[in-house]
Every structure is written in C-alpha cells, then in structure tokens.
Amino acid sequence: MEHTRIKELLKSEEFGKEVIVKGWVRTFRNNQFVAINDGSSINNIQAVIDFENTPDDILRRITTGAAVRVKGILVESQGKGQRVEVKATDISIIGDSDAEKFPLQPKKHSLEFLREIAHLRFRTGTFNAIFKVRNALAFAVNKFFQERDFVYMHTPIITGSDAEGAGEMFRVTTLDLNNLPRTEQGDIDFKEDFFGKSTNLTVSGQLEGELAALAFGNIYTFGPTFRAENSNTTRHLAEFWMIEPEMAFYELEDNMQLAEDLLKYVIRYALDTCPEEIEFLRARLLEEEKSKPQADRSELDLVEKLNFVVQNDFVRLTYTEAIDILMKSKPNQKKQFKYLIEGWGADLQSEHERYLVEKHFKKPVILIDYPREIKSFYMKQNPVDAQGRQTVRAMDILFPGIGEMVGGSQREENLEKLITRMNEVGIPTEEMEWFLDTRRFGSVPHSGFGVGFERLVLFTTGMTNIRDVIPFPRTPKNAEF
C-alpha cells in the first residue's frame, strides 16, 4: 500500500517523513485546512494546503464527502486540537462529492436524521465509534468462548420450528401468493412449497444448540435471529443478533455464573481496546443529557457505569422476592405503574424491571424461578412449592437503562414432563421428535441462555435507541437499505 492509515499517523513521531493519506473530506476551512477521515480512527488528520500553488479547479473539488489523496510531510501541528498534521505537497481528488447534494454537512445532525441516511451515517464520528465498539464486542464474545473451549456452532436460519413457542415468526416461502395451492380441505398446501413443508426464519438457535451441546458438551451460537413481534420500542428489532451458549451438565447456578462472567469480560474488553471510542461516546452522552432535567440525567457517566458493572457482583433474587419488592414499592402503592402488580403470577413489564435495577438495586439483577405459565415450554420445572405454586428454572438478567439483556434457563431434561408441557401449551410433538430424542438417548441436566447482542451494544455505547447500534435496522414498516 502506498498510503498510511490515519490512526497510525496520529500516533507517529516521525516528523519530516513524507506520507500519503487517502480518505474522505470532513471539512475544508479557509481554503487551507482539510480534515480527512479514513475510518481507521474517529479522529481526522488535518492536511494543510498551499492554496497559492494549488490549481483552482482542485480547490473547488475539495468538498465535504469527496475522496482525496494527499501527499505531504508529517509535521508537528502549530494549531490547537491536533498533535500532528500533514503539510501537503500534492493533493488530488479520487472521487468527487457534490457539496450541494451530499446530505452530511459539517455540523451536528440529529440521530433521527442520520437514521434516514443510514447508508451514509458510517461516515460520522458517532457511528464510527459505535460500530468499532460493536466490532470489539463481537470479537470478545468469540474470544471468551474460544478461551473456554466452547464450540462455535452455526445453527440454521431457516427452520420449521418455533423455538420460543410464541408464534412470532416470519414465513419463508416460494409459493405464488396470488395463486396458492390448496389441499382438499382448502388449507394452503405447503407440500408444494420449496421445502415441502411450512418454514420460517429462526427466532432462536437454541433447540439445535441443545442437540449439539448433548454431544460436544459446551457450544455457542452467534447469529441473526428474527421476530415478527409488532413492538415499536427503542429496544426491539425484527432482525437482531443473538449469542446463545448451551452447556451439558450445567445447572442454573453454573448458567448464571457463565452469563455474568461473559458480560463482564466483553465489556472490559471494549473498555480496554476502544478507549478513544468510549471516551467519545461518554462525551456525546454528557452533551445529550445536558438538555434533560437534572433528575433524568445519569448519576454515573458512561465510563463509570461500565466500570461499575465490570467490578460489582450482579444481584440475584427469585421472581417471588421481586414481586414482594414491587408490591411494596412506591410506584405500585401510589398507582404510578401503568400495569399494577396485583400479586404473584404477574408478568413483569419493562417498567417493573427498570424499577428493580434502576431505583431499587441500582445494578444488574439476575431474576430466577419465574412462574411456569409466563415462560417457555422447555424450561426445567421446579417442585411445586408449599403454596402450590409452579415455577421454572428460568433466569433473566436485567440491566439499567436496558431492561432484559439475557434470557435463559436450565432445560427440562425429563422426557415425560417435557411432552406433557408441550401438549399443555399446544406445541405439536410430532414435528419435534428430533428435539425430544435428546431426552430419549442419554438425557442430562443442561442449561443455556441468549444475550441480545444489540442490547449489549446499546448498553456499552450509552446509546438510547437500538436502531442506532445495528447498521441497517429492521423494524415494523421499515426494511430500508
């Protein structure tokens, strides 16, 4: 390569050396100072142009968004705000950018506006920082599991099953929607479809992950998952990435410990390897919060918050204990919750989860032993308690500002209990014989969980809308790009 990456140049001490920079113009001031960014750093390098000896038609084409090549001498900067700069001896335009039409102007744009031009938002400091942190977290996830001898398993994207039993699936079909084949009963005849059966995009790799765990011991999946839930919130996507480890011979306590270790490990890795990006995001958040009333601002800044999570144990408590706390809480007593907690059995809404983590405990919380009725069919059933309550060995990890970050459980390994439960909730066992085989042939206690990767990125970057931490978000009525 003839050019040097800007990240390297910004660290360099080799003053007087001739260098070549290639990148995109962020700003051009006084016909003299060009700020160039090549994506390697959130910071730009400044090239100083000798405008008297640069042809006018070149100067005119140095516009925001244009791609340029600058040859020059690396020097210590005279000006404030940067340590080094390039004294240009030659500048040429690689790709023009019409300043009138280029949507990114050298000023602050709102996140909402940038979402509409998501194809260009990578070229801003904020999104450079976000996606560098996302990249570091993804790498750290693999590093964590590889260091612990877990096998990375690629589970299918197209499946015939509904792993969560919640019916929130996107159908996959090649049938002609204007001319659907019918059975004699008048139903759509999926035997005519591409796979000869009805198929959908996966909501979770868990069921296939369980098959692999009962052979390899410890596995993980990390891939895209799809949910056709019509949730237009700042924490839901229709397409999101999920990390799902599954471990044979793990009970719920082991499962919780692994999840806590994983989250701390990857956040620490981001802090260690992305200090500039996280500092940039910390400052961005402080700035953004200035417009909020004091009471709504965070007590800790981003770096303090991340360090706090890495350094402190998560709180662990049962669903029953959480209901007690919520029943006695001020917002419940004063009827400030939208959904009042009337008693045991209530499903927790995000307002309740947030009360527990943000107001009551002020740290991440692992909630276990939920009522069976509000959780998935595959979770291990606890013995019925003295009050006749049936719970399952579920665990949800709740994070400040995020709510549910992790959902997992110990799995029901007993064949009869599992089949009974599937019948109760109406999951057809005949299509799941392959899954039930794990409980027929050498069934063992096993556990796993799923981390919503975008929620992890959301927390680590201090962003507030999940649409800003995935490159091209898919949400109800939006599949742009």
Applying the rule CB under 5 A, the residues between 388 and 417 that interact with Mg ion are 407
- Measured from the CB of residue 195, what is the shortest distance to ligand 4AD in angstroms? 22
- 3-state helix/strand/coil string of the chain: CCCCCHHHHHHCCCCCCEEEEEEEEEEEECCCEEEEECCCCCCCEEEECCHHHCCHHHHHHCCCCCEEEEEEEEEECCCCCCCEEEEEEEEEEEECCCCCCCCCCCCCCCHHHHHHCCCCHHHCHHHHHHHHHHHHHHHHHHHHHHHCCCEECCCCCEECCCCCCCCCCCEECCCCCCCCCECCCCCECHHHCCCCCCEEECCCCHHHHHHHHHHHCEEEEEEEEECCCCCCCCCCCCEEEEEEEEEECCCHHHHHHHHHHHHHHHHHHHHHHCHHHHHHHHHHHHHHHCCCCHHHCCCCCHHHHHHHHHHCCCEEEEHHHHHHHHHHCHHHHCCCCCCCCCCCCCCCCHHHHHHHHHHHHCCCEEEEEEEHHHCCCCECECCCCCCCCCEEEEEEEEECCCEEEEEEEEECCCHHHHHHHHHHHCCCHHHHHHHHHHHHCCCCCEEEEEEEHHHHHHHHHCCCCHHHCCCCCCECCECCC
Could you say which residues in the range 95-114 bind ligand 4AD, by CB under 6 A? none
Closer to Mg ion by Cβ: residue 407 or 462: 407
> 6 vs 463, which CB is nearer to ligand 4AD?
463
* Pick 85 or 454: Cβ nearer ligand 4AD: 454
When CB distances are held under 5 to 8 angstroms depending on the partner's kind, the choice from Mg ion, ligand 4AD, none that residue 206 binds is ligand 4AD
Of 408, 418, 463, 473, the residue at the interface with ligand 4AD (CB under 6 A) is 408
Bridging pattern class, strands 391-399 and 199-201: unpaired
Q: Nearest distance from residue 89's CB to Mg ion, in Å?
A: 59
Which of Mg ion, ligand 4AD, none sits in contact with 84, Cβ below 5 to 8 A by type?
none
Residue 240 site contact among Mg ion, ligand 4AD, none (CB < 5 to 8 Å, cut-off depends on kind): ligand 4AD
Closest-by-Cβ residue to Mg ion is: 407
Report, in Å, the least distance between residue 207 CB and Mg ion.
15
214 forms part of the interface with ligand 4AD (CB under 6 A):
no
Burial state string for 110-148 with b = 16 or more CB within 10 A and e = fewer than 16: ebeebeeebeebebbbbbbbbbbbbebbbebbeebbeee
Cα–Cα distances in angstroms (integers) from residue 199 to residues 62, 190, 239, in the given order: 52, 9, 17
Question: Site for ligand 4AD (CB under 6 A): which residue of 26, 352, 393, 455?
Answer: 455
Query: What value, to the nearest 5°, has the Cα angle with vertex 40 and ends 36 and 44?
Result: 30
450 binds ligand 4AD (CB under 6 A): yes
- The CA distances from residue 298 to 36, 121, 289, 301, 465, in Å, are 34, 26, 8, 7, 16
- Nearer to ligand 4AD by Cβ, of 38 and 358: the residue is 358
Q: Give min distance, CB of 410 to ligand 4AD, in A.
A: 10
Q: Which of 123, 227, 380, 439 binds ligand 4AD (CB under 6 A)?
A: 227
Q: Name the residue nearer to Mg ion (CB basis): 155 or 376.
A: 376
Q: With CB under 6 A as the contact rule, which of the stretches 179-187, 233-241, 291-299, 457-465 interacts with ligand 4AD?
A: 233-241
CB 252 → Mg ion: shortest distance, Å? 15
Q: Give the nearer residue to Mg ion in terms of CB position, either 103 or 167.
A: 167
Stretch that binds ligand 4AD, among 81-89, 191-199, 305-313, 403-411 (CB under 6 A): 403-411
The contact pattern for ligand 4AD, residues 164-183, with x = CB under 6 A and - = no contact, is x-------------------
Task: Number of residues interacting with Mg ion: please give it, by CB under 5 A.
Answer: 1
| CB nearer to Mg ion: pick between 217 and 224 | 224
Are 168 and 203 in contact by the 8 Å Cβ rule? The answer is yes
Of residues 137, 367, 405, 463, which one binds ligand 4AD by CB under 6 A? 405
Residue type, 229: E
Q: Least CB distance from residue 448 to ligand 4AD, whole Å? A: 5
412 binds ligand 4AD (CB under 6 A): no
Binding-site partner at residue 237 among ligand 4AD, Mg ion, none, CB < 5 to 8 Å by type: ligand 4AD
Q: Measured from the CB atom, is 306 or 405 closer to ligand 4AD?
A: 405
Q: Provide the minimum distance between the beta carbon of 439 and ligand 4AD in the complex, in angstroms, as a whole number.
A: 17
- Smallest distance from ligand 4AD to CB 305, Å: 18
Residues 166-185 binding Mg ion (CB under 5 A) are: none
What are the residues binding Mg ion (CB under 5 A)?
A: 407
What are the residues binding ligand 4AD (CB under 6 A)?
A: 163-164, 204, 206, 227, 229, 236-237, 240, 242, 244, 404-408, 448-450, 452, 454-455
